Structure 1
Amino acid sequence: MVVRYSIIIPTFNRIQQLLLTLVAFETQTYPKHLMEVIVADDGSTDGTQQMVLEFQASYRLIYVAQPEQRGRSAVRNLGLRHAKGRYVIFCDADFLVLPHFLSTVDRYHRKYPNAILSGTPHSMDDAYTHYHPDFSPEEQLQFHSTIGPTGVWKPEFENAIEVMPLITPDDLIHQTGTLSRVLIPRRIPPAIIDQFARTDVAPWMLFVTRCVAVRRRYLLRLKGFNERFVLYGLEDWELGYRLHRLKLPFIPIKEVVGYHQEHPTSFRGNQVNLENLRIMFDCHGFNDSAVNLFVLSPPSEDLEKYKNTLRILRRGLRMKSTRSSALLLRRTLRLAAKQFYRQHNVQVYKQSIRRSQQLSLNRRSQVATVLREMLEKADKLVD
């Protein structure tokens, strides 16, 4: 039987979360002979290899590893090289899938066979599957306020020096309902959910590898992730951007198909990784305002502002009355991106920005208002 889905799970020292993620795939309602799970280990030192090799899976489970840590892009590509499925699903080691996960993905793919399907934004909520002694004081407070009233709280959490489970494999296998008691109230504002789900501008931002599915042949055509991205940030959006340039549709899965297993924020990298942004420009140049805008209005800071700026720019370019302001806005974004990337000729850059500021005076359109805002930010870029 041909494998339909290859689930690639990259991991690095996440043994506790990974165990639950592997168990969650045991509960799938989708036929297991049509799936394979590939754990791609980026040089873990916490016993991950032994745990995976000893895991008694009812599905095909493959373990591949790099001898030392090489980064998120390289380890995902390692998993991709071993994938046999028609579709590839990238699933983080701390993404706890629900029993209907694969059945839901497959239903969407039957309707949209060439689309990139994303669990973002409707499966971005979190669950406390473990207590982490490395939680910050603020995270400790949030943990206690969420778990305290549920009856799951244990006194030994107070002095724990190791990670302690709140959810067990048996809880998942037997669907005891414990998971529903440790869910964290939604923290993502509805406006952000809405902006992620809308694909009229920058649809490639749905390519978030916590949970995303795509035809394997498209990934092979693009040679997977760019391995120049080693640190956290932009490595998934950059591949999504290249898939977007193939004119592939991006569709968010509206159903909740899983939960992120909450962990200390110290586990995460810097989302606004400036070195990775320079790699993005090095690879794709300065001709796309959606990429250039990262310099002056990063989506990680305000996704709604980022997307609305692109919408205003697009409308401005279509209307004769606002086209000159829109062209000036597009030029400003390009100038700022080039200055960020090259970091030279500051005086020439400043003069260009000041000239544009003079031209923008007394213009009353919406695009002119955004232009002045971006010019102010562009001016501060070299302060």
Structure 2
Amino acid sequence: MSAPPDCTVIVPTYNRSHLLRHTLDSLARQRLSPGGSFEVIVVDDGSTDDTAEAVADRHDRLDLRYFFQEDQGYRVAAARNVGIHHARGGICVFVDSGVLLHSGALAAHLAAHGGSEDPVAVMGYVHCFNEGNEDGEQILREIDFTDPDASLRRFTEQQRWPDLRESYYARYGEELGALTAPWLMWWTCHVSADTAQLRRVGGFDEAYRSWGAEDVDLGYRLHTAGARFVLRRDAASLHVPHPKSYRSNMASAAANYRYFAEKFDTPVARLVPDHHFEEIEDLLRSRGLADGAVTDRFGTVSRAMDQATAEGSGR
């Protein structure tokens, strides 16, 4: 029996075969250290296009497995859980259809995990992600799909279309372990986590049946379980633009954030539906809860916040 791969790349998809092809092609260009290996699991959430053919065409270039689940509505959480269940690698890297990885991205993920004794949750850096497909046509014209590395290098040098979280990193720094709620920025368009820890915390909550928050939910649980959050800029990627509705996505996310708050019902979780993610970190800092003594586990944070709230109200 062959040795397990170093990591498993999990790609959920639904009727986006053209985007999936770009993602798989970028995975075929990955450069790992000698002896390094990875597998790819594509989980199809009920596509009716030629997604299966797009996968089959790349079996000769990738260690690739394909799973299909019937279309029962939006089930990306369930799709990713299929990937976690079948993963043979010790690290799971989550990538969305249409995300093109730099050729050194997987090596960067593996370096982040290999350099820590404790489980880590890694955030890749995502250029060109937009909320309402703004600049979509221009970005498409400027991406060199045959050489994503060159496009990434050019966009970085020109400081064009940086990661949407750049303002967050500029505001709070890149030492995410010093933050109270780094899980708010762990977005599964391009992240990774320890496979064993993902299984221990229960994977994605499949009650999320519309866009948004299933990654924040899992990030929250990884944090409470002791994962250390890390930004790796060298795990770089491009998010290929595609049609989307910002208004629709935000309405969906708002409902999911309310579910998140009710599910965990902690002071930190209850801030999520009504505050911008950057505001939440500010609120926690203003209450003296941003130091390591109270941010290492959310149980500690919650108790401290409850105490601060009680003192502030005179109770």
Which TM class, normalised by the smaller chain length?
Answer: 0.7 to 0.9
Within a 5 Å distance, the mapping from 1:297-376 to structure 2 comes to 297-299=275-277, 303=278, 305-314=279-288, 330=309
Looking at structure 2, the residues matched to 78 and 72 of structure 1 have their Cα atoms a distance apart, in angstroms, of 10
Matching of residue 51 in structure 1 with residue 54 in structure 2: yes
Q: Is the 8 A contact 2:102 2:152 kept in 1?
A: no
Q: What residue number does 1:41 align with?
A: 44
Partner of residue 215, structure 2: 236
Any conservation in 2 of the 1:105–1:117 contact (CA below 8 Å)?
no
User: Which of 182, 192, 206 is the aligned partner of 2:168?
Assistant: 192
Aligned partner of 1:15 in structure 2 is 17
2:76 pairs with 1:102:
no
Classify 1:219/1:196 alpha carbon distance in 2 versus 1 (closer, same or farther; 3 Å): farther
8 Å Cα contact 1:119-1:212 kept in structure 2:
yes
Which sections of structure 1, spanning at least 5 residues, go unmatched? 129-134, 154-165, 319-325, 334-355, 360-383
Cα shift readout 1:147-169 (whole Å, capped 9, x = no counterpart):
7xxxx58xxxxxxxxxxxx644x
Figure out how many residues of one structure are paired with residues of the other and give that number: 292
CA contact (8 A) 2:119 2:197 kept: no
Correspondence for 1:5 among 4, 7, 18: 7
SS at 1:255 equivalent = strand
- Partner-residue secondary structure (3-state), 1:265: coil
Question: Aligned to 1:289, which of 264, 267, 272?
Answer: 267
- CA 1:106 to 1:143, structure 2 compared with 1: closer, same or farther past 3 Å? closer
Cα distance in 2 for residues equivalent to 1:20 and 1:82: 23
Partner of 1:26: 28
SS of the residue corresponding to residue 270 of structure 1 reads helix
Which shows bigger deviation, 23-32 or 82-91?
23-32
Quick one: distance in 2 between partners of 1:9 and 1:64? 10
Asked if 1:253 is matched to 2:228, the reply is no
Secondary structure of the residue aligned to 1:231 is coil
Q: Quick one: structure 1 residues 210 and 316, their matched pair in 2 at CA, closer, same or farther if it must change by over 3 Å? A: closer
CA distance in 2, matches of 1:263, 1:196: 30
Which residue does the alignment assign to 1:162?
A: none
The higher relative CO (CA closer than 8 Å, separation ≥ 6) is in: 2
Letter in 1 for 2:227: L
The amino acid across from 2:49 in the alignment is D
Measured at CA, do residues 293 and 44 of structure 1 come closer, stay the same or move farther in structure 2, by a change above 3 Å?
same
Q: Distance in 1 between matches of 2:98 and 2:282?
A: 32
Instruction: Tell me the amino acid that sits aligned with residue 257 of structure 1.
Output: A
Counterpart secondary structure, 1:310:
helix
Q: Are the structure 2 counterparts of residues 271 and 219 from structure 1 closer, same or farther at C-alpha, using a change threshold of 3 Å?
A: farther
CA contact under 8 A between 1:26 and 1:57: conserved in structure 2? no
Match of 1:257, SS state, is strand
CA distance in 2, matches of 1:89, 1:26: 15
d(CA) in 2 for partners of 1:186, 1:332: 41
Deviation at 1:181, TM superposition (A): 6.1
Task: Measure how far apart 1:143 and its partner are.
Answer: 4.9
Match of residue 297 from structure 2:
none
- In structure 2, relative to structure 1, the CA distance for the partners of 1:127 and 1:117 (3 Å cut) is same
Give the number of the structure whose alpha-carbon radius of gyration is greater. 1
Please state how far the C-alpha of 1:316 moved relative to its aligned partner: 10
In structure 1, C-alpha distance between the alignment counterparts of 2:186 and 2:163, rounded to whole Å: 21
Contact 1:32 1:58 in 2 (8 A): no
> Structure 1 pair 187/178, CA: closer, same or farther in 2 (3 Å)?
closer
Q: Secondary structure at the match of 1:93?
A: coil
Tell me which residue corresponds to 1:73. 77
Identity rate, percent: 24
Name which of structure 1's ranges 72-81 and 255-264 shifts more when overlaid on structure 2: 255-264
Q: How far did 1:207 drift? A: 2.3
Q: CA deviation at 1:254?
A: 3.3
Task: Go from structure 1 to structure 2 and tell me whether the alpha carbon gap of 1:2 and 1:296 turns closer, same or farther (over 3 Å shift).
Answer: closer
| Displacement after TM superposition at 1:146 (Å) | 6.1
Task: Give the partner amino acid of 2:262.
Answer: D
Cα distance, 1:239 vs structure 2: 0.8
Aligned to 1:269: 249
Query: CA 1:196–1:116 in 2, change beyond 3 Å: closer, same or farther?
Result: farther
State the Cα RMSD in Å. Answer: 3.5
